[in-house]
Amino acid sequence: MCLMQFKSPAKINLFLKILHRREDGYHELASLFQTISLFDTIHFEFGENDNLTCTDPTIPCNDSNLISKALTLFRHHTGFNKPLSIHLEKKIPHQAGLGGGSSNAATTLWALNSLLPQPLPLQDLIQWGSTIGSDVPFFLSRGTAYCTGRGEKIRPMPPLPETPLVIIKPPFGSSTPEVYKALNLKKDLPSADPILHLKSFYEQKPHYFNDLEQAAFQVNPPLKTLKEKLIQCGFQTVLLSGSGSSFFCIGNASLVKLPDCEQYQVKTIHRKEDNWY
Ligand code: C5P
């Protein structure tokens, strides 16, 4: 019998600015992250041993899975030692720039914390989460956050007006390290103060952009053609999410059939304090 289940949302980057390459190989960025109504679901039950299963056979269910990493980290910090059977119902496409794995890790930390007689402060989970992946802390915010550093420093932002979006995921994925590697730091990055971009979203003149888009097009040229097709459909905004390969599209458009692409009609979401999604 299922002990508890939690939704694990996807994200998009409303804007993503790369500032510079760091000594540790990561890139310093400034980005407005937003959760959307595209969810995996994670089921938890007590078992004889730790066990992870997934509806998607292409997802590894070993120690490399970010859910396993979150469980190990949580046990290490809290001493929680009950064996758990975890089942991941996967809906968020992977290698898509939608943060599915990071979201699963954050959701697992939240879920496990809820099992403690005295749950720990969210700030602890955020700090531990940053060691699993740069995007994990964001998923512990309430849905809209301005993220800096490698993405792990989060500044919670007030919710933006609910916006309907279409997510388009082509039949191929995009490798985050490859896209970062292809980034031409001189050419791809027009300089402007990221705080001005952030303000534009709260002054009803949002400036959507993604500094990783050109690099992702270089790694996967069909992405460029797909973006052009989506613009021709009539969308006002078509933007790569994170390092891709999915786009989010805003505005009224007559969407044509795009062979092999997955399409999701979603909206921006946020959660209430002390509640999960
Ligand atoms: O932190 P995470 O494991 O999600 O990052 C995956 C990879 O993406 C890193 O190994 C790095 O190559 C690249 N990356 C980066 N700068 C960032 C975030 C990620 O170069 N801010």
Measured from the Cα of 25, ligand 1's closest atom is: 20
Give tens-digit pLDDT for 75-103: 999 999 999 999 999 999 999 999 999 99
By alpha-carbon position, which residue is closest to atom 19 of ligand 1?
26
**Over the chain, what is the mean pLDDT?**
95
Distance 25 CA to ligand 1 centre (A): 8
**Segments in 116-264 forming alpha helices (H):** 122-129, 176-182, 194-202, 213-219, 222-232
Question: pLDDT value at position 186?
Answer: 74
Q: Report whether 258 contacts 127 (CB < 8 A).
A: no
User: Looking at residues 207-229, what average pLDDT do you find?
Assistant: 97
pLDDT in tens, 150-201: 999 999 999 999 999 999 999 999 999 999 999 988 765 666 789 999 999 9
Average pLDDT estimate for 245-268: 92
> How far is the centre of ligand 1, averaged over its atoms, from the C-alpha of 134 (Å)?
7
User: Ligand 1 mean position to 15 CA, how many Å?
Assistant: 17
Pocket test for ligand 1, best of 22, 103, 131, 176 (most atoms within 8 A of CB): 176
Helix (H, G, I), strand (E, B) or coil at 59: coil
| CA–CA distance, 179 with 183 (Å, rounded to integer) | 6
Asked if 221 contacts 78 with a C-beta cutoff of 8 angstroms, the reply is no
Side-chain-side CA neighbours of residue 168 (13 Å): 25
Q: What is the pLDDT of residue 207?
A: 94
Tell me how far apart the 2 most distant CA atoms of the chain are, in Å: 55
Express each pLDDT in 5-45 by its tens digit.
999 999 999 999 999 999 999 999 999 999 999 999 999 99
> 54, 86 in Cβ contact below 8 A?
no
Hey, is 166 helix, strand or coil? Answer: strand
Q: What are the backbone dihedrals phi and psi of residue 114, each rounded to the nearest 5 degrees, phi first?
A: -70, -15
pLDDT band at 276; cut points 50, 70, 90: very high
Give the Cα separation of 206 and 184 in Å (integer).
Answer: 25
Sheet hosting strand 164-169, strand order edge to edge: 237-240, 247-250, 164-169, 262-267
Distance from C-alpha of 179 to C-alpha of 95, rounded to nearest angstrom: 11
Which residue, by CA, sits nearest to atom 10 of ligand 1?
A: 177
Q: How far apart are CA 226 and CA 246, in angstroms?
A: 10
pLDDT of 256 > 80? The answer is no
The values of phi and psi at residue 80, to 5°, are -60, 125
- Residue 22 Cα, ligand 1 centroid: separation in angstroms? 11
- Please tell me which residue, 234 or 258, carries the higher pLDDT value: 234
In the predicted model, is pLDDT for residue 277 greater than 90? Answer: yes
Atom 14, ligand 1: residue with shortest CA distance: 26
Q: How far is CA 40 from CA 55, 88, 95, 243, in A?
A: 10, 7, 15, 20
CB atoms within 10 A of CB 2: 9
Instruction: Provide the pLDDT for residue 36.
Output: 98
Pocket test for ligand 1, best of 180, 183, 241 (most atoms within 8 A of CB): 180
pTM tops 0.85: yes
Instruction: Quote the pLDDT of residue 189.
Output: 62
